[in-house]
Amino acid sequence: MTTDAATDGRPPLPGRRGPDGGHTPHPTGTAADVLARYLHQQATEFLRALRLHGDSGHGTGTAAEDSAEAVRLLRGAARRVAGALQVFRPLTEVPWTDQFRTELGWLTETLGREYACAARLARLRGALHRLSGASADGGPGSAPAVGAARAGALLERQLTLARTRAHSAALQALGSARFHAVADAVAVLSTDPPLDPAAHDLPAHEALPLLAEQTHRLLLEAAGTLPLSVAGLPYNAEGLSHGLAGPGAPAAEGRQDAPWHHVRLLVRLRRYAQEVLDEQHRTEVEPALTIRLLSAGQTLDRHRDAAEAASYAAAAARTPRIAPATAYALGVLHADQRHEVEAARFAFGRIWQRMAVPR
């Protein structure tokens, strides 16, 4: 396995000036110590969230809020564990951790769907409210106002249904043998992290920054493929460029959005990698970088949210037998959210300019 990891994932280790610049005393500890510490923390968080979720009783009102918060914490911990295992993969027991990451992915995806539906609905509701100009002097009864109200009701119905289904699926998942295996594995992670024996010999300050840097390079490469020069021109009309395209319209928008979604995941991965480095130094090593990663990530979250909201609006417009006024409102809503997509890209471009500067 050590050999595997070395040929397979671990990069050659050329001399590198770490983030400590070589002039602060090296923190003691091996790569294994630091990783184990980070994984232990996240595993503890995961198990705590799980208990919280059990206590919440999945009810309504406060209980539902507690349950939602527990799921949020649980997903965050699961993503961080998976992220750390991915970035520092060469230091782990690779076949086991690869499979474990797949399971963590299944879990976060299954648990997240319910909240994604709720978030989409809240976003679309907010957009409809804004477009209906609550502060304007328009009253009810006109075609656009009726259309907006009907579109809102339609989206409410469809997304609530989707949310209920996702909720059932999540509850089912949490009761499944598959989930219990994941929880058991997380418990093991907490006490006996699946690390490669070599990790116990490598000084943390040599191995960890190098692998984080590798993720950073992946991020830079992926962001390098984004059409940032177009996105940097305000009102470039790219967001809506497939708005009324043929049968491939949703697919075309999806293809246009995909590289941005990919960069979003890499930004998050890079942020988790930084958390491990921070753990190594027991302090925030590069606060400016951390903040930029956070705001880049938030911008790309907004990009994803708007893109999904736009596609829900377009899908709702394909509901049979809706009134023209409803369809019109959904068209306006779709276009509005695609412009939010474009706005998020523009904002990301601004943040990225500062990020891509060599550190």
Give me the residues that bind a copy of itself (CB under 8 A), please. Answer: 128, 130-133, 136-145, 147-148, 234-235, 237, 240-249, 252, 314, 317-318, 322-336, 339-340, 342-343, 346
**How many C-beta neighbours within 10 Å does residue 303 have?**
24
Q: How far is the CB of 122 from a copy of itself (least distance, A)?
A: 17
Give whichever of 118 and 240 is closer to a copy of itself, judged by the CB atom.
Answer: 240
Three-state secondary structure of 199-255: HHCCEHHHHHHHHHHHHHHHHHHHHHCCCHHHHCCCCCCCCCCCCCCCCCHHHHHHH
Residues 5 and 194 sit within 8 Å (Cβ to Cβ): no
Give whichever of 118 and 315 is closer to a copy of itself, judged by the CB atom.
Answer: 315
Q: How far is the CB of 261 from a copy of itself (least distance, A)?
A: 19
Three-state secondary-structure class, residue 261 = helix
How far apart are the C-alpha atoms of 177 and 198, rounded to whole Å?
33
Three-state secondary-structure class, residue 27 = coil
How far apart are the C-alpha atoms of 76 and 158, rounded to whole Å?
27
Give whichever of 59 and 248 is closer to a copy of itself, judged by the CB atom.
Answer: 248
Give whichever of 196 and 305 is closer to a copy of itself, judged by the CB atom.
Answer: 305
The residue type of 112 is G
Give whichever of 173 and 252 is closer to a copy of itself, judged by the CB atom.
Answer: 252
Q: How far is the CB of 140 from a copy of itself (least distance, A)?
A: 6
Q: How far is the CB of 316 from a copy of itself (least distance, A)?
A: 10
Give whichever of 130 and 217 is closer to a copy of itself, judged by the CB atom.
Answer: 130
Q: How far is the CB of 116 from a copy of itself (least distance, A)?
A: 23
Q: How far is the CB of 120 from a copy of itself (least distance, A)?
A: 18
Give whichever of 47 and 131 is closer to a copy of itself, judged by the CB atom.
Answer: 131
Please enumerate in sequence order all residues whose Cβ is within 8 A of that of 202, keeping only pairs 6 or more positions apart, or say none. Answer: 30, 31, 32, 91
Distances from the Cα of 340 to the Cα of 118, 129, 240, 264, 331, angstroms: 19, 15, 10, 16, 14
Q: How far is the CB of 258 from a copy of itself (least distance, A)?
A: 15
